[in-house]
Each structure stands twice: as structure tokens, then as C-alpha cells.
Amino acid sequence: MTKKNVYLSVVIPAYNEKDNFQKGVLDEVYKYLKKQRYSWEALIVDDGSTDGSVNLLENFTKKHKSFILIKNPHMGKAGTIITGVKKASGKYILFTDFDQATPLSEFTKLHPYLKKGFDVVIGSREVKGSKREQEPFYRHLMGKGFNFGIKIIALRGISDTQCGFKAFKGNVAKKLFKKLQVYKPKKISTAFTGAVDVEILFLAQKFGYKIAEVPIFWKHVETKRVNPIKDSVLMALDVIKIRFYDLFGRYEA
């Protein structure tokens, strides 16, 4: 059960994360959060994991106050984030990848922009001052190509749409995620991550929300769940859908 009067809700999607769990990533999340003076909750949304990690997560949340495990059917990253946002109680909502490619401590860079009044604050690996580690060259090149295409098709003025480290005013997040069309929650059979970030940012721009893009630290964490070429093609098709949905009025208030 989520709490009332929470300052920050952290939404953490999880799918077959046994290996990452055993690296101690959630321990690091807890160490950071427990030092903060504001109230917080961490919502771990499991995406129908099949590797035994659910038992590990259940034990962890029982032992760590303000960590909450939510069990979803397998819907992909979009479905888990949507569930987390719906359940979140925070004045601000942040979603972050389970593998902590961007450590939660990087929220200290996003937080000031929220306090200044920005509605959406996104971590970026592309703007000046950001830092990357360990990323294979071909992945970086593909990412830059994808972001270039996004700028042409859907989003102006945003250099990195896909970094999984984004913060919102709580009420803004709830409004935006309700309007998703391409990434409406649905059961899936693959581990496809998708371009839900693009649809959310597209909607944020469309409805005039104030967006800040902030440099962060990010390190590449190898995963077998991502097929760079196949997923990039599917994501590009989804971005085209976003434009068509907008053209035909699917996003109107």
C-alpha cells in the first residue's frame, strides 16, 4: 500500500532481474533514499518475471521500509511504469532502471529543476556535462541515429529521449500517462522495451509542459533482453504511429 503525503515516489520496473538484484543495486537505492530528509516510497513493479526474482524482491521489500512490490502481468516496460505512476503518491515521481545504469543519486541533479517549477525533468546522456561509461561504439552510434530521427519525426529540442531516468511533478505524470495511445497497457509475449519515453515527451510538449534536459552519469549494463536492430526498427514504427495518432486527433484533451 502506498503512503500519503509522500515527497518522492521512485518507480522501478523489474523483469527477470535476479542477476542485477544479486549485484546489490537495490541496496544502493536504499542507502541513497534513507539519507534524504524528505519522505519517499520506492515502488518496484514486477513485469511477470520468470527467473525467481519475485521471491527475492518480496523478501527485500519485507525488510526495507517504504519499498513496495507490485506484481504486474507481463506488459513490458511501458506497462510497468504506467502501473507504478498510477500507484505513486508522491509530489514528484521519478522512474529509474532496475540495473541502475544511472544511479539514483543522480536525482540530486534533477531535483533543483523540479523545485524551480519544471513539470518534466529528464536525465540526458547527450547534453554538455553528461558522462557515459562502457558503452559499445555501435550502441552509441545507433542511439544517436535514433535520437536524430526522433527530432525529425516527433520531438524538437530534446537530445536524448531514451535515458531511463525521468522525473515529473506527480499530477503531471498522472495526466500524461493516462493519455498514452501507442503504449496503452496490454499483455505482451516479448521483453520489448519500446519508445514509451517518446510518447510521453511528445505529449508533454504537445500540452505545453515545461521540460528540462539535465546531464547525468550513465554506464552501459549488458543485457540479453535487448535486440538493438530489431528493437530500433519496432521503436521507429511506434514513433511514426505517434505522429499518425496525433494527426487523427487521438491525443486531444
Quick one: pLDDT at residue 233? 75
Q: What is the pLDDT along the chain (253 residues), one digit of tens a residue?
A: 456 689 999 999 999 999 999 999 999 999 999 999 999 999 999 999 999 999 999 999 999 999 999 999 999 889 999 999 999 999 999 999 999 999 999 999 999 999 999 999 999 998 999 988 866 655 656 666 666 666 666 678 898 988 999 999 999 999 999 999 998 877 775 655 678 899 999 999 999 999 999 999 999 887 666 666 666 777 788 888 999 999 999 998 6
Distance CA 216, CA 108 (A): 10
**Annotation: CATH topology of 6-247:** Spore Coat Polysaccharide Biosynthesis Protein SpsA; Chain A (3.90.550)
Quick one: pLDDT at residue 185? 77
Please choose, from the candidates 251, 248, 244, 249, the residue with its C-alpha nearest in 3D space to the C-alpha of residue 153. Answer: 244
Amino acid at 93: I
Q: What share of the chain is helix, strand, coil (3-state, %, to 5)?
A: 40, 20, 40
Check residue 36 and report its DSSP letter.
-
What pTM was estimated for this model as a whole? 0.89
What's the distance, CA 124 to chain centroid?
12
Q: Give residue limits of the domains in the chain.
A: 6-247
Quick one: pLDDT at residue 145? 60
What does the block give as the cell for 209?
A: 509542459
CA neighbours closer than 13 Å in the CB half-sphere of residue 2: 25
221: helix, strand or coil: coil
Distance CA 223, CA 153 (A): 28
Check residue 87 and report its DSSP letter.
H
What does the block give as the cell for 21?
A: 538484484
Residue 42 near residue 108, CB atoms below 8 Å:
no
Quick one: pLDDT at residue 213? 97
Angle at alpha carbon of residue 129, lines to 123 and 133, rounded to 5° = 75
Secondary structure (DSSP) of 12-30: EEESS-HHHHHTTHHHHHH
Distance CA 85, CA 96 (A): 12
204: helix, strand or coil: helix
CA neighbours closer than 13 Å in the CB half-sphere of residue 150: 26
